[in-house]
Amino acid sequence: MRLRRVATTVVLGVALVCVAPASSPAVGREVAGATGASGPAAGATTGQGSAAVLHAGQPSASRPGAAAAWPVPTGTVTAPDDRTLFTDRQGRVLRLRGLNLGKTDTVTEERIADLARDGFGLVRLNIQWEKVEPRRGRYDTDYLRYLDHILDWADRYRVLVLIDWHQDVYGPAFGHNGIPAWATRTDGLPFVPNPDDWFADYFQPAVQAAFTHLYDDADLRAAQGAAYAKVAEVLRGHRSLLGYDLFNEPFGPVPGDPNDPQNQIDASAALERGRLADMYRRLIRAVRSSDRDAWLFLEPTVLIGQGVPTSLPAFDDPRPGADRLGYAPHYYDTAVESGADWDPSSRFIERYEVAVADYPTTNRLPVLVGEWGPPRATTPGNAQLMQRQVASMDRFAAGWALWYDCRADNGGGYCAYDRNGGPAPGKEPAFAPYAPAVAGIPDSESYAATTRTYTLTMTADRTTRRAWTVLSLPAAAFPHGARVSVTGGGPAVVVGAGGPGQAGLLLPTARPGAAVRVTVTAR
């Protein structure tokens, strides 16, 4: 299916209904399961020109009856600007926002609940092969059970989970994490860690040899595929399972001078066209041997952050039906990673958007930015970078996961939260209201923090009459609840969606092509 924008100059009148506060189980059931305008949720009296009042921040552990309309990606659609976007079974356009967690810390139910409370609907869960299979041929059943519990919690709080097969500088043999020590072959080459620049460790001869063996040795390739198939077997069937990010920040041998930028570019292109592409084909087959429904995401090398387009080829998905493949680049500014305050004149964002566009557009892949965000956003440039990146990703991505779900004083490190659990200074843009599910064609979205005003514009299509648009209105933005007004599309029903800080919007008489504007203000 291909979405096409329909121009209209007609803006229809306002009609809103306030049915019940967000904590009402009855309202939660109807909003979650509704497929049309009739039913209990639409049964309140219509108030022409009125505004619905919603109550944010009321906790709900179960969200009764919500499973039927939980926004879970089952397909894609091509937007008018040629982006490939996720859609669910109702045809709604989905937009995913979330956080990374689980790299070296323990994930608890409370953390999943807090993340959902703050409006995030996605977890990029960092797992490592070294933990799945600490000894060759022996899987850690306790660790696999732990992963299964995390997805149980995600099921409960309606949070999607992207399993990220994580590695940094190969693995524990080099003081980092990822590939097991038993799967590390160095050919006796030296490794001298750089205490001031962990990324420089990738260029050490021993690390280069280890990556080469991982890509080339038949027994390691088979063991890696078996580990992926095992995890997919354990986790399949969870309604919260979005899919798998197949290999975090892929790296490989860099023959010649590693400090020569052109040499790095040439080595990256050769890796993506050759060894890495072969790995992805193996891992796609491995996961599909256990799970035919999960989405599988491909990462380019980190040079995408320097404005270097990927050289990855197209991939086939052996599952029956439409492919479920996606593209998961990271979005980091090298200078900021090295400690500098962001410089807008560097044109980092403009260069990145150009570099990232062609591959997913050509191959019709949804883009999910797996990692992004400055180490801290308390400096003027980095605070601006946070704002600019959120707006940028709305232009090219179907979703994103900020790095990282942790707490620190004054927004230290990469932490999304301050010590008290509020947004870290400067990182508030990641906590802004948004629409996780849009029954129509999303056009624009904005949030003005100074006035606490959120605006969504959309064009009605054939889904608008029968499916609910979901608004995430977290307490960080609307601590005392919110007022929602709608223009365009005819009479509107606005209700609480049975969960903290959410609202549902239905336009039962909207005509395809109608321009709809949703405005949310603080009470």
| 372-427 pLDDT per residue, tens | 999 999 999 999 999 999 999 999 999 999 999 999 987 678 999 999 999 999 99
In the chain, how long is the greatest CA-to-CA distance?
77
DSSP 39: S
> Any idea which residue has 């072969």 for tokens?
278
Q: Is the pLDDT assigned to residue 1 strictly greater than 50?
A: no
Answer for the pair 297, 370: CB distance below 8 angstroms, yes or no: yes
DSSP summary character for residue 326: E
Q: Has residue 145 got a pLDDT over 50?
A: yes
CA distance 42 to 63: 19
Please report the DSSP string for 116-179 in residue order.
HHTT--EEEEEE-HHHH-SBTTB--HHHHHHHHHHHHHHHHHT-EEEEEE--BSSSGGGTSBSS
Q: How far apart are CA 11 and CA 489, in angstroms?
A: 8
* Residues whose CB is less than 8 angstroms from the CB of residue 237 and which lie 6 or more positions away in sequence, other chains included: none
Is residue 39 a contact partner of residue 508, using CB atoms and an 8 Å limit? no
Among 189, 279, 273, CA closest to 225: 279
Beta strands in 405-465 (DSSP E): 407-408, 417-418, 434-438, 441-448, 453-459
pLDDT digits (tens, 9 = 90+) for 294-311: 999 999 999 999 999 999
List, in sequence order, every residue forming a beta bridge with 48; answer none if it has no partner: 15
SS3 sequence of 114-133: HHHHCCCCEEEEEECHHHHC
CA–CA separation, 58 and 70 (whole Å) = 19
φ, ψ at 431 (rounded to 5°): -100, 10
The CA-based angle 267-269-274, given to 5 degrees, is 95
Query: Per-residue confidence at 523, pLDDT binned at 50, 70, 90?
Result: confident
Percent of the chain whose predicted confidence (pLDDT) is above 90:
82
Q: Which helix (H) or strand (E) holds 254?
A: none
**The total number of residues written for the chain in this structure:** 523
Which segment of 4-8, 126-130, 344-348, 467-471 scores lowest on mean pLDDT?
4-8
Amino acid at 301: T
Angstrom distance (rounded) from CA 191 to CA 170? 12
Domain chopping of the chain, boundaries? 104-115+129-367+384-401
The predicted-structure confidence for 54-87, as pLDDT tens digits, reads as follows: 544 333 333 323 334 689 999 999 999 999 999 9
Instruction: Report yes or no: 269 and 215 within 8 Å, Cβ to Cβ.
Output: no
Instruction: Give 77-80 contacts, CB < 8 A, sequence gap 24+.
Output: 77/1, 77/2, 77/3, 78/1, 78/2, 78/3, 78/364, 79/3, 79/441, 79/442, 80/3, 80/4, 80/5, 80/441
Tokens of 70: 């939980």
Contact 215, 251 (CB under 8 A): no
Instruction: In whole angstroms, give the CA distance from residue 387 to residue 120.
Output: 17
pLDDT, tens digit (0-9, with 9 covering 90-100), for 328-354 = 999 999 999 999 999 999 999 999 999
pTM: predicted TM-score of the whole model, two decimal places: 0.89
Count other Cβ atoms within 10 Å, centred on residue 141: 9
User: Out of 132-146, 202-216, 476-490, which region has the weakest mean confidence (pLDDT)?
Assistant: 476-490
Please give the pLDDT value at position 68: 40
What is the DSSP code (8-state) at residue 479?
B
**CATH (residue range 104-115+129-367+384-401):** 3.20.20.80
Q: Are 122 and 160 in contact (CB under 8 A)?
A: yes
